[in-house]
Amino acid sequence: MRMKRVILVTGTPCIGKTTTAKALAEKLNAHYINLTEFAKTYNLILGEDKQRKSTIIDEQKMRQKLTQTINSINNQNIVIDGHYAAAIVPTRSVTHVFVLRRNPQELKAFMEKSGYSQNKLQENLQAEILDVCLTEAIEAHASKVYELDITGKTTQEVIVDIMDVLNMNKKCSVGIVDWIGTLEREGILDEYLKT
Ligand SMILES: Nc1ncnc2c1ncn2[C@@H]1O[C@H](COP(=O)(O)OP(=O)(O)OP(=O)(O)O)[C@@H](O)[C@H]1O
Ligand SMILES: [Mg+2]
């Protein structure tokens, strides 16, 4: 039997994880898990962080439930979508981690279109600029991490890049973007990093 792949799709909020992960799951005929939905379905929410307007997850319970779910699926690849996927899915279960990256100028436009508050927008842009998701992914999954710059790409183009990695046609490394340098060259870094 072919090895079951457990593929994480992670990245800063609003970067395009769900759009990409759903398309990938369809392409691979894989089981799709969205961690936000998963937490709701299995009642893994401890409460609300009112200040940050986000939910607090019972991480231990979520790890247990994820392990159980992953182990119960035998003949299908699994695609897991979530911005904290790399921190929460047990390392031994994971085969690939795709960290999606988007130029902060484009990400800002996406967030504005999606109606993000000024605070959330600033917080998430800074997380993208400072490689927060990438760092988290490398800490937990090291050589399984593939960083993809999806700026200006259609979903189908992103899927082609991911399939190239999965089929081992393309090596993909980390450290491929430098948003600090990019914004600095444009003379707008301060604008993005101010609090
Ligand atoms: N390749 C793309 N080209 C253009 N727009 C895109 C692309 N991918 C996603 N989008 C748009 O960007 C927005 C965010 O996408 P999506 O919901 O997939 O992001 P996400 O990372 O899952 O967000 P969240 O962290 O809130 O779950 C949506 O409006 C989506 O339609
Ligand atoms: Mg999403």
Which residues are CB-contacts of 182 (< 8 A; sequence separation ≥ 6)? 103, 104
* Among 144, 158, 24, 52, residue whose Cα is nearest residue 102: 158
* Among 121, 104, 110, 96, residue whose Cα is nearest residue 174: 96
CA of residue 187 to ligand 2 center, whole Å: 31
CA of residue 18 to ligand 2 center, whole Å: 4
pLDDT greater than 60 at residue 1: no
Closest residue by CA, ligand 1 atom 8: 16
CA of residue 183 to ligand 1 center, whole Å: 22
Q: pLDDT tens, 41-61? A: 999 999 988 877 788 999 999
Task: Find tokens 């991911």 and name the residue.
Answer: 162
The backbone torsions φ and ψ at residue 57, rounded to the nearest 5 degrees and listed phi first, read -95, 145
Task: Find tokens 């993005």 and name the residue.
Answer: 192
Side-chain-facing half-sphere of 58: CA atoms under 13 Å: 14
Arithmetic mean of pLDDT, 63-81: 96
pLDDT greater than 90 at residue 37: yes
Higher pLDDT, 102 or 168: 102
pLDDT at position 176, please?
93
Give the integer Cα–Cα distance in Å for 79 and 86: 12
- The atom of ligand 1 lying closest to the CA of 11 is 21
Q: pLDDT grade, residue 148 (50/70/90)?
A: very high
The backbone torsions φ and ψ at residue 46, rounded to the nearest 5 degrees and listed phi first, read -85, -35
Span 6-103+131-175 CATH architecture: 3-Layer(aba) Sandwich (3.40)
pLDDT at position 171, please?
72
Q: pLDDT tens, 131-140? A: 999 999 999 9
Domain residue ranges in the chain: 6-103+131-175
Mutate to test the pocket of ligand 1, among 9, 10, 18 (most ligand atoms within 8 A of CB): 18
